Structure 1
Amino acid sequence: MSGITGTGAGTARPTGTARDAHGGAPIGWSHYARGQFLLSWRVFWRNRRSTFIGFLLPVLLNLVVAAPLRGKEIAGVDAAGYTTVGFIGLALVTSFINLLNGVVARRDDLVLKRLRGTEVPPTAIFAGQIGASGAVVLLQVLVLGGVSVLWFGTRLPADPLLFLLVLVGGYLLFAVLAVAMSGLTPSAEAAPMVATPVLLLCMFGSGVVAPLASLPEWLRGPAHVLPLAPVVEGLRTAWFGREFGSETWGGVAPAELDLLHGWLHAAPSLLMIAAWVAAAAVLGRRLFRWEPRHG
Protein backbone atom coordinates (compact mmCIF):
# COMPACT_ATOMS: atom_id res chain seq x y z
CA MET A 1 0.00 0.00 0.00
CA SER A 2 3.02 2.29 -0.12
CA GLY A 3 1.86 3.47 -3.54
CA ILE A 4 -1.39 4.70 -2.05
CA THR A 5 0.35 6.52 0.74
CA GLY A 6 2.84 8.27 -1.49
CA THR A 7 0.36 9.28 -4.17
CA GLY A 8 -2.44 10.21 -1.82
CA ALA A 9 -0.21 12.33 0.37
CA GLY A 10 1.62 13.80 -2.57
CA THR A 11 -1.46 15.12 -4.32
CA ALA A 12 -2.72 16.98 -1.23
CA ARG A 13 -1.62 20.53 -0.46
CA PRO A 14 -0.92 20.94 3.24
CA THR A 15 -1.49 24.67 3.65
CA GLY A 16 -3.30 27.58 2.09
CA THR A 17 -6.01 27.58 -0.55
CA ALA A 18 -5.24 25.22 -3.43
CA ARG A 19 -5.36 26.72 -6.91
CA ASP A 20 -4.98 25.38 -10.41
CA ALA A 21 -1.64 25.01 -12.14
CA HIS A 22 -1.74 28.60 -13.41
CA GLY A 23 -2.59 30.12 -10.04
CA GLY A 24 -6.14 30.86 -11.11
CA ALA A 25 -9.43 29.93 -9.46
CA PRO A 26 -9.38 27.71 -6.36
CA ILE A 27 -9.57 24.00 -7.04
CA GLY A 28 -13.11 22.72 -6.60
CA TRP A 29 -14.63 19.62 -5.04
CA SER A 30 -14.91 17.82 -8.37
CA HIS A 31 -11.16 18.18 -8.97
CA TYR A 32 -10.33 16.49 -5.67
CA ALA A 33 -12.92 13.76 -6.24
CA ARG A 34 -11.51 13.11 -9.71
CA GLY A 35 -7.99 12.81 -8.30
CA GLN A 36 -9.12 10.28 -5.71
CA PHE A 37 -11.08 8.42 -8.40
CA LEU A 38 -8.06 8.10 -10.70
CA LEU A 39 -5.82 7.06 -7.82
CA SER A 40 -8.23 4.38 -6.61
CA TRP A 41 -8.79 3.15 -10.17
CA ARG A 42 -5.05 2.68 -10.80
CA VAL A 43 -4.45 1.01 -7.46
CA PHE A 44 -7.34 -1.41 -8.01
CA TRP A 45 -6.03 -2.76 -11.32
CA ARG A 46 -2.45 -2.94 -10.10
CA ASN A 47 -3.39 -5.09 -7.11
CA ARG A 48 -3.85 -8.69 -8.27
CA ARG A 49 -5.88 -9.74 -5.26
CA SER A 50 -8.32 -6.85 -5.55
CA THR A 51 -8.64 -7.43 -9.30
CA PHE A 52 -9.44 -11.10 -8.77
CA ILE A 53 -11.93 -10.63 -5.94
CA GLY A 54 -13.45 -7.38 -7.10
CA PHE A 55 -13.74 -8.08 -10.82
CA LEU A 56 -13.00 -11.66 -11.87
CA LEU A 57 -14.62 -13.64 -9.04
CA PRO A 58 -18.30 -12.97 -9.88
CA VAL A 59 -17.60 -13.43 -13.61
CA LEU A 60 -15.78 -16.75 -13.14
CA LEU A 61 -18.33 -18.08 -10.65
CA ASN A 62 -21.11 -17.19 -13.05
CA LEU A 63 -19.43 -19.10 -15.88
CA VAL A 64 -18.97 -22.15 -13.65
CA VAL A 65 -22.51 -22.12 -12.21
CA ALA A 66 -24.66 -20.63 -14.97
CA ALA A 67 -23.11 -22.15 -18.12
CA PRO A 68 -24.27 -25.73 -17.29
CA LEU A 69 -27.83 -24.37 -16.83
CA ARG A 70 -28.23 -23.26 -20.45
CA GLY A 71 -31.52 -24.49 -21.83
CA LYS A 72 -32.96 -25.24 -18.38
CA GLU A 73 -35.44 -23.32 -16.27
CA ILE A 74 -35.68 -22.03 -12.73
CA ALA A 75 -39.07 -20.75 -11.62
CA GLY A 76 -40.28 -20.88 -15.19
CA VAL A 77 -37.58 -18.63 -16.65
CA ASP A 78 -34.19 -19.24 -18.24
CA ALA A 79 -32.01 -20.74 -15.51
CA ALA A 80 -28.71 -19.36 -16.82
CA GLY A 81 -30.14 -15.85 -17.02
CA TYR A 82 -31.78 -16.19 -13.60
CA THR A 83 -28.42 -17.13 -12.07
CA THR A 84 -26.49 -14.46 -13.97
CA VAL A 85 -28.69 -11.72 -12.52
CA GLY A 86 -27.93 -13.17 -9.09
CA PHE A 87 -24.21 -12.86 -9.75
CA ILE A 88 -24.69 -9.25 -10.84
CA GLY A 89 -25.99 -8.75 -7.31
CA LEU A 90 -23.01 -10.62 -5.91
CA ALA A 91 -20.69 -8.19 -7.71
CA LEU A 92 -21.92 -5.56 -5.26
CA VAL A 93 -20.68 -7.71 -2.38
CA THR A 94 -17.23 -8.16 -3.92
CA SER A 95 -17.10 -4.38 -4.35
CA PHE A 96 -17.87 -4.16 -0.62
CA ILE A 97 -14.86 -6.39 0.11
CA ASN A 98 -12.48 -4.26 -1.93
CA LEU A 99 -13.81 -1.00 -0.53
CA LEU A 100 -13.43 -2.33 3.01
CA ASN A 101 -9.85 -3.43 2.30
CA GLY A 102 -9.05 -0.13 0.63
CA VAL A 103 -10.48 2.11 3.37
CA VAL A 104 -8.78 0.13 6.15
CA ALA A 105 -5.45 0.05 4.32
CA ARG A 106 -5.52 3.81 3.67
CA ARG A 107 -6.44 4.42 7.30
CA ASP A 108 -3.62 2.22 8.59
CA ASP A 109 -1.11 3.83 6.23
CA LEU A 110 -2.19 7.23 7.65
CA VAL A 111 -3.36 8.38 4.22
CA LEU A 112 -6.81 9.33 5.52
CA LYS A 113 -5.30 11.20 8.46
CA ARG A 114 -3.03 13.20 6.16
CA LEU A 115 -5.79 13.99 3.68
CA ARG A 116 -8.06 15.10 6.49
CA GLY A 117 -5.42 17.66 7.49
CA THR A 118 -5.53 19.27 4.04
CA GLU A 119 -8.18 21.26 2.18
CA VAL A 120 -9.46 18.09 0.46
CA PRO A 121 -13.13 17.71 1.48
CA PRO A 122 -13.83 14.40 3.27
CA THR A 123 -16.74 13.76 0.90
CA ALA A 124 -14.40 14.07 -2.09
CA ILE A 125 -12.04 11.49 -0.58
CA PHE A 126 -14.79 8.88 -0.36
CA ALA A 127 -16.61 9.94 -3.52
CA GLY A 128 -13.50 9.23 -5.56
CA GLN A 129 -12.86 5.84 -4.00
CA ILE A 130 -16.52 4.79 -4.12
CA GLY A 131 -16.82 6.10 -7.67
CA ALA A 132 -13.87 4.02 -8.86
CA SER A 133 -15.33 0.90 -7.31
CA GLY A 134 -18.69 1.75 -8.88
CA ALA A 135 -17.06 1.98 -12.30
CA VAL A 136 -15.68 -1.53 -11.79
CA VAL A 137 -19.17 -2.77 -10.91
CA LEU A 138 -20.59 -1.14 -14.04
CA LEU A 139 -17.96 -2.92 -16.12
CA GLN A 140 -18.90 -6.22 -14.45
CA VAL A 141 -22.58 -5.64 -15.20
CA LEU A 142 -21.75 -5.08 -18.87
CA VAL A 143 -19.66 -8.27 -18.98
CA LEU A 144 -22.18 -10.43 -17.10
CA GLY A 145 -25.13 -8.96 -18.97
CA GLY A 146 -23.37 -9.47 -22.28
CA VAL A 147 -22.64 -13.10 -21.47
CA SER A 148 -26.25 -13.63 -20.44
CA VAL A 149 -27.73 -12.08 -23.57
CA LEU A 150 -25.19 -13.08 -26.23
CA TRP A 151 -24.22 -16.55 -24.98
CA PHE A 152 -27.08 -17.76 -22.80
CA GLY A 153 -29.74 -16.23 -25.03
CA THR A 154 -31.45 -14.27 -22.24
CA ARG A 155 -33.57 -11.35 -23.31
CA LEU A 156 -32.60 -7.76 -22.54
CA PRO A 157 -33.88 -6.20 -19.28
CA ALA A 158 -37.63 -5.58 -19.38
CA ASP A 159 -37.28 -2.34 -17.38
CA PRO A 160 -33.74 -0.88 -17.70
CA LEU A 161 -34.57 2.16 -15.55
CA LEU A 162 -35.80 0.07 -12.62
CA PHE A 163 -32.81 -2.24 -13.05
CA LEU A 164 -30.41 0.72 -12.89
CA LEU A 165 -32.15 2.20 -9.85
CA VAL A 166 -31.97 -1.09 -7.91
CA LEU A 167 -28.34 -1.54 -8.96
CA VAL A 168 -27.33 1.97 -7.85
CA GLY A 169 -29.25 1.61 -4.58
CA GLY A 170 -27.64 -1.75 -3.89
CA TYR A 171 -24.19 -0.43 -4.67
CA LEU A 172 -24.68 2.56 -2.40
CA LEU A 173 -25.84 0.20 0.35
CA PHE A 174 -22.69 -1.92 0.25
CA ALA A 175 -20.39 1.09 -0.26
CA VAL A 176 -21.71 2.83 2.87
CA LEU A 177 -21.64 -0.48 4.73
CA ALA A 178 -17.96 -0.93 3.81
CA VAL A 179 -17.09 2.47 5.27
CA ALA A 180 -19.06 1.64 8.42
CA MET A 181 -17.52 -1.83 8.83
CA SER A 182 -14.04 -0.36 8.46
CA GLY A 183 -14.55 1.05 11.96
CA LEU A 184 -14.88 -2.50 13.31
CA THR A 185 -11.86 -3.79 11.38
CA PRO A 186 -8.68 -3.51 13.47
CA SER A 187 -6.22 -3.80 10.59
CA ALA A 188 -5.89 -4.52 6.88
CA GLU A 189 -4.79 -8.05 7.73
CA ALA A 190 -8.07 -8.61 9.59
CA ALA A 191 -10.26 -7.25 6.79
CA PRO A 192 -10.79 -10.66 5.12
CA MET A 193 -12.06 -12.07 8.41
CA VAL A 194 -14.68 -9.31 8.53
CA ALA A 195 -15.61 -9.45 4.84
CA THR A 196 -15.72 -13.22 4.22
CA PRO A 197 -18.76 -13.94 6.45
CA VAL A 198 -20.65 -11.15 4.67
CA LEU A 199 -19.76 -12.65 1.28
CA LEU A 200 -20.80 -16.18 2.28
CA LEU A 201 -24.06 -15.07 3.91
CA CYS A 202 -25.04 -13.02 0.89
CA MET A 203 -23.98 -15.64 -1.64
CA PHE A 204 -25.80 -18.59 -0.07
CA GLY A 205 -28.58 -16.83 1.82
CA SER A 206 -29.81 -14.12 -0.57
CA GLY A 207 -31.06 -16.12 -3.54
CA VAL A 208 -28.02 -15.57 -5.75
CA VAL A 209 -27.97 -19.09 -7.20
CA ALA A 210 -31.27 -20.54 -5.94
CA PRO A 211 -34.71 -19.30 -4.91
CA LEU A 212 -35.04 -18.37 -1.26
CA ALA A 213 -37.95 -20.81 -1.06
CA SER A 214 -35.41 -23.63 -1.39
CA LEU A 215 -33.96 -22.75 2.03
CA PRO A 216 -35.27 -24.45 5.19
CA GLU A 217 -38.43 -22.73 6.33
CA TRP A 218 -36.82 -21.38 9.51
CA LEU A 219 -34.15 -19.63 7.45
CA ARG A 220 -36.42 -17.95 4.91
CA GLY A 221 -37.48 -15.05 7.12
CA PRO A 222 -33.93 -14.02 8.11
CA ALA A 223 -32.73 -14.54 4.52
CA HIS A 224 -35.27 -12.05 3.16
CA VAL A 225 -33.82 -9.25 5.32
CA LEU A 226 -30.17 -9.80 4.40
CA PRO A 227 -28.89 -6.71 2.57
CA LEU A 228 -28.43 -8.47 -0.78
CA ALA A 229 -31.83 -10.24 -0.85
CA PRO A 230 -33.95 -7.20 -1.83
CA VAL A 231 -31.31 -6.20 -4.37
CA VAL A 232 -31.37 -9.58 -6.13
CA GLU A 233 -35.17 -9.70 -6.03
CA GLY A 234 -35.43 -6.19 -7.49
CA LEU A 235 -32.85 -6.90 -10.20
CA ARG A 236 -34.69 -10.04 -11.31
CA THR A 237 -38.05 -8.27 -11.32
CA ALA A 238 -36.60 -5.50 -13.49
CA TRP A 239 -34.72 -7.87 -15.83
CA PHE A 240 -37.47 -10.43 -16.47
CA GLY A 241 -40.52 -8.25 -15.86
CA ARG A 242 -41.99 -10.86 -13.53
CA GLU A 243 -43.15 -11.02 -9.94
CA PHE A 244 -40.07 -12.48 -8.24
CA GLY A 245 -39.68 -12.97 -4.51
CA SER A 246 -41.60 -16.14 -3.72
CA GLU A 247 -40.59 -18.31 -6.69
CA THR A 248 -39.59 -21.97 -6.29
CA TRP A 249 -37.32 -24.29 -8.29
CA GLY A 250 -39.98 -26.01 -10.32
CA GLY A 251 -43.00 -23.82 -9.74
CA VAL A 252 -44.94 -21.96 -12.36
CA ALA A 253 -43.36 -18.84 -13.77
CA PRO A 254 -44.10 -15.70 -11.72
CA ALA A 255 -46.77 -13.46 -13.19
CA GLU A 256 -45.68 -11.04 -15.88
CA LEU A 257 -45.80 -7.36 -14.92
CA ASP A 258 -46.20 -4.22 -16.95
CA LEU A 259 -43.91 -1.29 -16.15
CA LEU A 260 -46.22 0.27 -13.56
CA HIS A 261 -46.87 -2.97 -11.69
CA GLY A 262 -43.18 -3.83 -11.93
CA TRP A 263 -42.37 -0.66 -9.99
CA LEU A 264 -45.14 -1.38 -7.49
CA HIS A 265 -43.85 -4.90 -6.94
CA ALA A 266 -40.27 -3.62 -6.53
CA ALA A 267 -41.28 -0.88 -4.08
CA PRO A 268 -40.82 -3.05 -0.93
CA SER A 269 -37.35 -4.06 -2.13
CA LEU A 270 -36.43 -0.43 -2.79
CA LEU A 271 -37.69 0.58 0.65
CA MET A 272 -35.66 -2.17 2.30
CA ILE A 273 -32.56 -1.10 0.38
CA ALA A 274 -33.14 2.49 1.52
CA ALA A 275 -33.53 1.30 5.12
CA TRP A 276 -30.24 -0.59 4.91
CA VAL A 277 -28.49 2.49 3.47
CA ALA A 278 -29.82 4.64 6.31
CA ALA A 279 -28.80 2.08 8.93
CA ALA A 280 -25.31 1.75 7.42
CA ALA A 281 -24.94 5.55 7.34
CA VAL A 282 -25.86 5.83 11.03
CA LEU A 283 -23.47 2.99 11.84
CA GLY A 284 -20.73 4.67 9.82
CA ARG A 285 -21.08 7.96 11.68
CA ARG A 286 -20.63 6.12 14.96
CA LEU A 287 -17.87 3.70 14.02
CA PHE A 288 -15.71 5.25 11.30
CA ARG A 289 -12.16 6.26 12.28
CA TRP A 290 -9.70 8.47 10.43
CA GLU A 291 -6.72 7.01 12.27
CA PRO A 292 -5.56 3.44 12.99
CA ARG A 293 -7.41 1.70 15.79
CA HIS A 294 -4.17 0.79 17.58
CA GLY A 295 -0.88 2.52 17.95
Structure 2
Amino acid sequence: MSAARRIRALGRAELTLLLRNRAALFSAIVLPLAMVAAVSGVPVDRGELSTMAFLVTAMLAFVLLSAVYYNLVTAYVSRREELVLKRLRAGELTDAEILAGVASPAVAVALAQSVLFVAAGAVFLGLPAPVNAPLLLLGVVGGVVVFVLLAAASSVFTRTTELAQITTLPILLGCLFGSGLMVPLEELPDPVAAALRALPLSPVVELMRLGWVGTAGERAPEDFAGAFGPAAVPVLVLVAWLAAGAMAIRYRFRWEPRR
Protein backbone atom coordinates (compact mmCIF):
# COMPACT_ATOMS: atom_id res chain seq x y z
CA MET A 1 0.00 0.00 0.00
CA SER A 2 1.37 3.41 -0.97
CA ALA A 3 1.88 6.24 1.50
CA ALA A 4 -1.04 8.19 0.01
CA ARG A 5 -3.41 5.24 0.43
CA ARG A 6 -2.29 4.69 4.02
CA ILE A 7 -2.88 8.35 4.85
CA ARG A 8 -6.31 8.25 3.19
CA ALA A 9 -7.28 5.14 5.14
CA LEU A 10 -6.28 6.72 8.44
CA GLY A 11 -7.94 9.98 7.39
CA ARG A 12 -11.26 8.22 6.77
CA ALA A 13 -11.17 6.77 10.28
CA GLU A 14 -10.37 10.21 11.72
CA LEU A 15 -13.20 11.78 9.72
CA THR A 16 -15.65 9.27 11.23
CA LEU A 17 -14.47 10.24 14.72
CA LEU A 18 -14.76 13.94 13.85
CA LEU A 19 -18.35 13.51 12.69
CA ARG A 20 -19.20 11.78 15.98
CA ASN A 21 -17.65 14.54 18.11
CA ARG A 22 -20.26 17.29 18.35
CA ALA A 23 -17.98 19.84 20.00
CA ALA A 24 -15.22 19.37 17.42
CA LEU A 25 -17.75 19.38 14.59
CA PHE A 26 -19.23 22.66 15.83
CA SER A 27 -15.89 24.48 16.08
CA ALA A 28 -14.63 23.05 12.77
CA ILE A 29 -17.70 23.44 10.57
CA VAL A 30 -20.75 25.11 12.12
CA LEU A 31 -19.05 28.16 13.66
CA PRO A 32 -17.18 29.27 10.49
CA LEU A 33 -20.29 28.71 8.35
CA ALA A 34 -22.32 30.83 10.75
CA MET A 35 -19.75 33.61 10.32
CA VAL A 36 -20.17 33.44 6.54
CA ALA A 37 -23.95 33.72 6.89
CA ALA A 38 -23.59 36.75 9.16
CA VAL A 39 -21.12 38.56 6.92
CA SER A 40 -23.12 37.84 3.75
CA GLY A 41 -25.92 40.06 5.04
CA VAL A 42 -23.70 43.13 5.51
CA PRO A 43 -24.45 45.87 2.95
CA VAL A 44 -21.33 46.89 1.04
CA ASP A 45 -20.66 49.76 -1.32
CA ARG A 46 -17.65 50.21 -3.59
CA GLY A 47 -15.78 52.29 -1.03
CA GLU A 48 -15.84 49.47 1.52
CA LEU A 49 -14.58 46.64 -0.66
CA SER A 50 -11.05 46.63 0.76
CA THR A 51 -12.45 46.62 4.30
CA MET A 52 -14.67 43.65 3.52
CA ALA A 53 -11.77 41.82 1.90
CA PHE A 54 -9.84 42.31 5.14
CA LEU A 55 -12.81 40.85 7.04
CA VAL A 56 -13.00 37.80 4.79
CA THR A 57 -9.27 37.11 5.16
CA ALA A 58 -9.72 37.44 8.94
CA MET A 59 -12.34 34.69 8.75
CA LEU A 60 -9.93 32.54 6.76
CA ALA A 61 -7.41 32.99 9.56
CA PHE A 62 -10.05 32.11 12.15
CA VAL A 63 -10.57 28.77 10.36
CA LEU A 64 -6.90 27.93 10.94
CA LEU A 65 -7.27 28.54 14.67
CA SER A 66 -10.55 26.70 15.19
CA ALA A 67 -10.77 23.96 12.56
CA VAL A 68 -7.06 23.15 12.40
CA TYR A 69 -5.13 24.18 15.51
CA TYR A 70 -7.53 23.65 18.40
CA ASN A 71 -9.23 20.54 17.01
CA LEU A 72 -5.92 18.89 16.15
CA VAL A 73 -4.43 19.50 19.60
CA THR A 74 -7.34 17.58 21.13
CA ALA A 75 -7.11 14.89 18.42
CA TYR A 76 -3.38 14.27 18.90
CA VAL A 77 -3.72 14.21 22.69
CA SER A 78 -6.71 11.88 22.58
CA ARG A 79 -5.01 9.41 20.22
CA ARG A 80 -1.84 9.48 22.32
CA GLU A 81 -3.61 8.88 25.63
CA GLU A 82 -5.64 6.02 24.12
CA LEU A 83 -2.39 4.45 22.83
CA VAL A 84 -3.60 4.76 19.23
CA LEU A 85 -0.43 6.52 18.11
CA LYS A 86 1.75 3.89 19.76
CA ARG A 87 -0.13 1.06 18.04
CA LEU A 88 0.00 2.81 14.67
CA ARG A 89 3.79 3.10 14.93
CA ALA A 90 3.97 -0.70 15.18
CA GLY A 91 2.51 -1.00 11.68
CA GLU A 92 3.60 0.11 8.23
CA LEU A 93 2.88 3.81 8.67
CA THR A 94 5.79 6.17 9.13
CA ASP A 95 5.69 8.90 11.76
CA ALA A 96 4.94 11.55 9.14
CA GLU A 97 2.12 9.46 7.69
CA ILE A 98 0.53 9.05 11.12
CA LEU A 99 0.61 12.78 11.83
CA ALA A 100 -0.68 13.58 8.35
CA GLY A 101 -3.45 10.99 8.54
CA VAL A 102 -4.74 12.29 11.85
CA ALA A 103 -4.63 15.85 10.50
CA SER A 104 -6.14 15.15 7.07
CA PRO A 105 -9.86 15.64 7.96
CA ALA A 106 -9.15 18.98 9.66
CA VAL A 107 -6.98 20.07 6.73
CA ALA A 108 -9.69 19.09 4.23
CA VAL A 109 -12.33 21.01 6.20
CA ALA A 110 -10.09 24.11 6.43
CA LEU A 111 -9.30 24.12 2.71
CA ALA A 112 -12.95 23.58 1.77
CA GLN A 113 -14.04 26.44 4.02
CA SER A 114 -11.34 28.69 2.57
CA VAL A 115 -12.74 28.06 -0.91
CA LEU A 116 -16.23 28.75 0.46
CA PHE A 117 -15.15 32.05 2.01
CA VAL A 118 -13.48 33.22 -1.18
CA ALA A 119 -16.60 32.30 -3.18
CA ALA A 120 -18.85 33.98 -0.61
CA GLY A 121 -16.75 37.14 -0.83
CA ALA A 122 -17.16 37.22 -4.60
CA VAL A 123 -20.87 36.32 -4.71
CA PHE A 124 -22.35 38.03 -1.66
CA LEU A 125 -19.96 40.92 -1.12
CA GLY A 126 -19.02 41.62 -4.72
CA LEU A 127 -15.32 41.51 -3.98
CA PRO A 128 -12.98 41.61 -6.98
CA ALA A 129 -10.74 38.73 -8.02
CA PRO A 130 -7.50 38.38 -6.01
CA VAL A 131 -4.69 40.66 -7.14
CA ASN A 132 -2.13 37.87 -6.72
CA ALA A 133 -3.75 34.42 -6.40
CA PRO A 134 -0.41 32.57 -5.78
CA LEU A 135 0.26 34.68 -2.67
CA LEU A 136 -3.29 34.09 -1.42
CA LEU A 137 -2.85 30.35 -1.95
CA LEU A 138 0.57 30.41 -0.27
CA GLY A 139 -0.93 32.12 2.76
CA VAL A 140 -3.74 29.56 3.10
CA VAL A 141 -1.66 26.43 2.48
CA GLY A 142 1.32 27.67 4.47
CA GLY A 143 -0.97 28.60 7.35
CA VAL A 144 -2.58 25.15 7.35
CA VAL A 145 0.82 23.42 7.52
CA VAL A 146 2.12 25.74 10.26
CA PHE A 147 -0.89 25.21 12.50
CA VAL A 148 -0.83 21.44 11.98
CA LEU A 149 2.77 21.50 13.20
CA LEU A 150 1.89 23.82 16.09
CA ALA A 151 -0.98 21.55 17.09
CA ALA A 152 1.35 18.55 17.24
CA ALA A 153 3.91 20.59 19.20
CA SER A 154 1.25 21.86 21.64
CA SER A 155 0.12 18.31 22.34
CA VAL A 156 3.52 17.66 23.96
CA PHE A 157 2.64 19.74 27.05
CA THR A 158 -1.11 18.93 27.02
CA ARG A 159 -1.71 15.98 29.34
CA THR A 160 -5.45 15.53 28.65
CA THR A 161 -7.99 16.73 26.11
CA GLU A 162 -9.64 18.84 28.81
CA LEU A 163 -6.37 20.72 29.41
CA ALA A 164 -6.27 21.66 25.73
CA GLN A 165 -8.70 24.47 26.54
CA ILE A 166 -5.93 26.00 28.68
CA THR A 167 -2.72 25.05 26.87
CA THR A 168 -3.97 26.41 23.55
CA LEU A 169 -5.00 29.80 24.98
CA PRO A 170 -1.62 31.57 24.57
CA ILE A 171 -1.49 30.88 20.82
CA LEU A 172 -5.23 31.38 20.28
CA LEU A 173 -5.43 34.72 22.12
CA GLY A 174 -2.07 35.96 20.86
CA CYS A 175 -3.03 35.27 17.25
CA LEU A 176 -6.57 36.61 17.59
CA PHE A 177 -5.55 39.95 19.08
CA GLY A 178 -2.01 40.40 17.79
CA SER A 179 -1.91 39.24 14.18
CA GLY A 180 -3.68 42.14 12.52
CA LEU A 181 -7.11 40.50 12.41
CA MET A 182 -8.79 43.41 14.17
CA VAL A 183 -6.28 46.26 13.83
CA PRO A 184 -3.77 46.46 10.93
CA LEU A 185 -0.25 46.15 12.28
CA GLU A 186 0.80 49.28 10.39
CA GLU A 187 -1.41 51.35 12.72
CA LEU A 188 0.58 50.24 15.78
CA PRO A 189 3.93 51.66 16.98
CA ASP A 190 6.83 50.24 14.99
CA PRO A 191 8.43 48.22 17.85
CA VAL A 192 5.05 46.65 18.75
CA ALA A 193 4.21 45.90 15.12
CA ALA A 194 7.63 44.32 14.54
CA ALA A 195 7.16 42.02 17.54
CA LEU A 196 3.62 41.03 16.55
CA ARG A 197 4.74 40.17 13.00
CA ALA A 198 6.69 37.29 14.55
CA LEU A 199 3.47 35.56 15.67
CA PRO A 200 2.63 32.43 13.63
CA LEU A 201 -0.62 33.82 12.21
CA SER A 202 0.74 37.27 11.26
CA PRO A 203 2.58 36.22 8.07
CA VAL A 204 -0.43 34.15 7.01
CA VAL A 205 -2.78 37.14 7.34
CA GLU A 206 -0.36 39.44 5.52
CA LEU A 207 0.12 37.03 2.63
CA MET A 208 -3.62 36.48 2.23
CA ARG A 209 -4.30 40.22 2.22
CA LEU A 210 -1.44 40.96 -0.16
CA GLY A 211 -2.73 38.23 -2.43
CA TRP A 212 -6.32 39.45 -2.39
CA VAL A 213 -6.17 43.26 -2.31
CA GLY A 214 -2.46 43.97 -2.86
CA THR A 215 -1.89 45.51 0.57
CA ALA A 216 -1.74 44.28 4.16
CA GLY A 217 -2.44 47.63 5.82
CA GLU A 218 -2.60 51.32 4.92
CA ARG A 219 -0.17 51.20 1.99
CA ALA A 220 -1.48 51.78 -1.50
CA PRO A 221 -2.56 48.54 -3.20
CA GLU A 222 0.04 46.86 -5.39
CA ASP A 223 -0.49 45.06 -8.69
CA PHE A 224 0.36 41.39 -9.32
CA ALA A 225 4.12 41.91 -9.63
CA GLY A 226 4.32 44.63 -6.99
CA ALA A 227 2.74 42.41 -4.31
CA PHE A 228 5.77 40.10 -4.28
CA GLY A 229 8.09 42.71 -2.72
CA PRO A 230 6.10 43.28 0.51
CA ALA A 231 5.55 39.49 0.74
CA ALA A 232 9.25 38.74 1.30
CA VAL A 233 9.26 39.31 5.07
CA PRO A 234 6.01 37.36 5.75
CA VAL A 235 7.35 34.45 3.69
CA LEU A 236 10.56 34.37 5.73
CA VAL A 237 8.62 34.43 9.02
CA LEU A 238 6.35 31.65 7.74
CA VAL A 239 9.35 29.52 6.75
CA ALA A 240 10.88 30.09 10.20
CA TRP A 241 7.70 28.81 11.89
CA LEU A 242 7.61 25.80 9.57
CA ALA A 243 11.18 24.93 10.50
CA ALA A 244 10.58 25.49 14.22
CA GLY A 245 7.43 23.35 14.18
CA ALA A 246 9.15 20.51 12.31
CA MET A 247 12.10 20.53 14.72
CA ALA A 248 9.81 20.56 17.76
CA ILE A 249 7.93 17.52 16.48
CA ARG A 250 11.08 15.63 15.53
CA TYR A 251 12.73 15.99 18.92
CA ARG A 252 9.89 16.56 21.41
CA PHE A 253 6.69 14.90 20.15
CA ARG A 254 5.35 12.19 22.47
CA TRP A 255 3.86 9.03 20.96
CA GLU A 256 2.58 7.51 24.20
CA PRO A 257 1.33 8.79 27.57
CA ARG A 258 3.77 9.94 30.21
CA ARG A 259 3.68 7.33 33.01
Structures share fold, TM-score greater than 0.5 = yes
What residue number does 2:148 align with? 175
Letter in 2 for 1:41: L
Q: Which entry has the higher C-alpha Rg, 1 or 2?
A: 1
Q: How does 1:158-173 map to 2 (within 5 A)?
A: 158-173=131-146
Structure 1 counterpart of 2:76, from 83, 103, 106: 103
Q: Structure 1 residues 207, 184: CA separation in 2 closer, same or farther (over 3 Å shift)?
A: same
Structure 1 counterpart of 2:197, from 212, 224, 237: 224
What residue number does 1:126 align with? 99
Q: Does 1:276 align with 2:241?
A: yes
Deviation of the 1:73 alpha carbon? 5.5
Structure 1 counterpart of 2:59, from 83, 87, 96: 87
User: Helix, strand or coil: the match of 1:183?
Assistant: helix
Deviation of the 1:150 alpha carbon? 0.9
User: Helix, strand or coil: the match of 1:265?
Assistant: coil
User: Helix, strand or coil: the match of 1:78?
Assistant: helix
Once the two structures are superposed, what CA deviation does each residue of 1:258-295 show, in whole Å capped at 9, x if it has no partner? 322212221211111010111111122232101112x3
Q: State which drifts further: 101-110 or 261-270.
A: 261-270
Aligned-partner Cα distance in 2 for 1:284–1:263:
31
TM-score (normalizing by structure 2): 0.90
Aligned-partner Cα distance in 2 for 1:156–1:36:
36
User: Helix, strand or coil: the match of 2:163?
Assistant: helix
Q: How does 1:1-295 map to 2 (within 5 A)?
A: 27-61=1-35, 63-64=37-38, 67-68=41-42, 70-71=44-45, 77-94=49-66, 95-215=68-188, 219-240=192-213, 242-244=214-216, 246-247=217-218, 254-293=219-258, 295=259
Q: Structure 1 residues 47, 213: CA separation in 2 closer, same or farther (over 3 Å shift)?
A: same
User: Helix, strand or coil: the match of 2:93?
Assistant: coil
Cα RMSD after superposing both structures: 2.2
Query: How many matched pairs?
Result: 258
Contact 1:180 1:285 survives alignment (8 Å): no
Deviation of the 1:81 alpha carbon? 2.1
Letter in 2 for 1:266: A
Deviation of the 1:38 alpha carbon? 1.1
Q: Structure 1 residues 151, 44: CA separation in 2 closer, same or farther (over 3 Å shift)?
A: same
User: Runs of 5+ in structure 1 lacking a partner?
Assistant: 1-26, 248-253
Deviation of the 1:243 alpha carbon? 2.9
Q: Structure 1 residues 267, 132: CA separation in 2 closer, same or farther (over 3 Å shift)?
A: same
Letter in 2 for 1:87: M
TM-score (normalizing by structure 1): 0.80
Letter in 2 for 1:79: T
Letter in 2 for 1:135: A
Contact 2:11 2:101 survives alignment (8 Å): yes
